[in-house]
Amino acid sequence: MNKMIATTTDARYAPGVKLIAENANLQERVHKLERQVDFYLRMWELEQEENDRLHDRLWEVECELPRARAAGERAERRRRDPYLRRIYGISVSARGHEWRNRA
């Protein structure tokens, strides 16, 4: 930013010189504030993007929950089913010696 320094010894121009100096100072302050606003605006945009990504991921997980819950319920029903327990018991007892030897 080019800074102009107005100097004069004539008292008639003193109010104008003072206004020019104040204007330059105000312009510099406005420029600094604009940079801060740009910075915080960018930070807010990044947070909004992160929030959107997290919201999308939450939605995906919530969509997966019913399937996972149903799979867990099916597994629990299989675990409690006496017919399947008998089948698994037979298959485990048929292979039991292999597992005991490995342990």
pLDDT at 30: 95
45 versus 13: which is more confidently predicted?
Answer: 45
- State the chain's mean pLDDT as an integer: 79
Note if the pTM is more than 0.85. Answer: no
- CB of 59 closer than 8 Å to CB of 32: no
In tens, the pLDDT along 46-96 reads: 999 999 999 999 999 888 888 888 888 888 877 777 777 677 665 544 444
2 versus 62: which is more confidently predicted?
Answer: 62
Is 34 a residue whose pLDDT tops 50? yes
